[in-house]
C-alpha cells in the first residue's frame, strides 16, 4: 500500500484500485498494440490508418497516466511494468510481420470493443465507492467509444 493517505475507506480503495489497475493494463497494452500496427502496416490505406493509429496511441498514453496517477492518489500502487502488462493483458495480440490495412482496421475495432466492455464494468463498479474515479473512467470510455465508432465505420 502506497505512502499516500487515502481519502477512501479500505473497502472503497480496494475496489477502486482494482478497477484502475485493470484499466492501466488495458491502456498500456493498447498503446503498444497500436504502435506495433502503426509500424508494420501495409496496404492502399497505409497513410490514413498509420496516422489514425497514432491518435489511439496518444489517447492510450494520456489515459494510462491519468489512471495510474489516480491510483496512487487513492493510496494504491499502480503496476505498469512490461512483465505485468504482458502477463495480464486480455487484448488479442497481433501477429509479427506485415499487417494488412483492412485487417488492422477490423482488429483495432474489435480490440476497442472488448476494452470498452471492461471499462463499462469498471464504471459500474466504482460509482458507489469513488465517484471521482468513476468520472475519470467515463471520460476515457467516451474517447474509446468515439474511436471505436471511427474504426468500425471504415471496417
Residues 37-96 that bind its own copies (CB under 8 A): 39-50, 52, 61, 64-65, 68-74, 77-83, 85-87, 89, 93-94, 96
Q: Taking the complex as a whole, how short is the minimal distance between the CB of residue 38 and its own copies, in angstroms?
A: 8
Q: Residue 36 CB, nearest distance to its own copies (Å)? A: 5
Handedness of CA 18, 75, 67, 122 (dihedral sign): positive
12 in contact with its own copies (CB under 8 A)? no
Kindly state the helix (H) or strand (E) to which residue 77 belongs, with its residue range. Answer: none
**Nearest distance from residue 91's CB to its own copies, in Å?**
9
Site membership for its own copies, residue 145 (CB under 8 A)? yes
Told to check if 103 binds its own copies by CB under 8 A, we report no
Count helices and strands in the chain by DSSP H and E runs? 5, 2
All three cell numbers of 85, joined, read: 502488462
Rounded to whole angstroms, the Cα distance separating 75 from 143 reads 26
Amino acid at each position: 500500500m502506497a505512502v499516500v493517505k487515502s481519502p477512501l475507506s479500505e473497502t472503497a480503495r480496494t475496489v477502486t484500485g482494482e478497477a484502475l489497475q485493470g484499466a492501466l493494463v488495458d491502456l498500456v497494452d493498447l498503446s503498444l498494440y497500436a504502435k506495433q500496427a502503426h509500424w508494420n502496416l501495409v496496404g492502399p490505406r497505409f497513410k490514413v490508418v498509420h496516422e489514425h493509429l497514432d491518435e489511439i496511441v496518444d489517447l492510450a498514453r494520456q489515459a494510462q497516466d491519468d489512471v495510474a496517477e489516480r491510483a496512487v492518489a487513492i493510496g494504491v500502487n499502480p503496476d505498469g511494468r512490461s512483465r505485468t502488462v504482458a502477463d495480464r493483458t486480455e487484448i488479442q495480440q497481433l501477429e509479427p510481420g506485415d499487417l494488412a490495412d483492412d485487417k488492422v482496421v477490423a482488429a483495432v475495432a474489435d480490440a476497442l470493443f472488448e476494452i470498452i466492455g471492461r471499462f463499462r464494468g469498471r464504471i459500474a463498479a466504482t460509482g458507489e465507492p469513488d465517484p471521482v474515479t468513476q468520472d475519470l473512467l467515463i471520460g476515457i470510455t467516451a474517447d474509446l467509444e468515439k474511436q471505436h465508432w471511427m474504426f468500425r465505420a471504415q471496417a
